[in-house]
């Protein structure tokens, strides 16, 4: 992942329109991307450290939308 656009994240208003299954899938995919970025950061392979912060906030937004829709995350 070289840039923010490579993460392929959706806009907040489009996230609110997702169905429960799509929201869970998006959350799972984003969490796995975040894990990958964190591992790359720890091994010093990641040059764009701002991506971790941005993706962490994106996952938090997904969790907030999921809790508003009463979606069980686990």
Quick one: average pLDDT of 40-54?
92
Quick one: average pLDDT of 49-59?
92
pLDDT at residue 68, as a whole number: 84
pLDDT at residue 57, as a whole number: 92
pLDDT at residue 69, as a whole number: 80
Instruction: Tell me the C-alpha distance between 34 and 40, whole Å.
Output: 10
Q: Which position has the higher pLDDT, 36 or 9?
A: 36
Flag whether pLDDT at 71 surpasses 90: no
Output the six-digit token pair for 74.
Answer: 């686990």
**Total H helices, total E strands in the chain:** 3, 0
Flag whether pLDDT at 5 surpasses 70: no
Instruction: Tell me the C-alpha distance between 26 and 19, whole Å.
Output: 10
34 confidence band (pLDDT: 50, 70, 90) = very high
């Amino acid at each position: 992942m070289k840039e923010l656009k490579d993460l392929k994240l959706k806009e907040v208003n489009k996230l609110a329109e997702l169905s429960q299954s799509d929201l869970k899938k998006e959350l799972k995919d984003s969490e796995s991307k975040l894990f990958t970025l964190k591992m790359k950061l720890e091994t010093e392979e990641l040059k764009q450290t701002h991506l971790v912060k941005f993706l962490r906030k994106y996952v938090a937004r997904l969790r907030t939308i999921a809790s508003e829709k009463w979606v069980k995350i686990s």
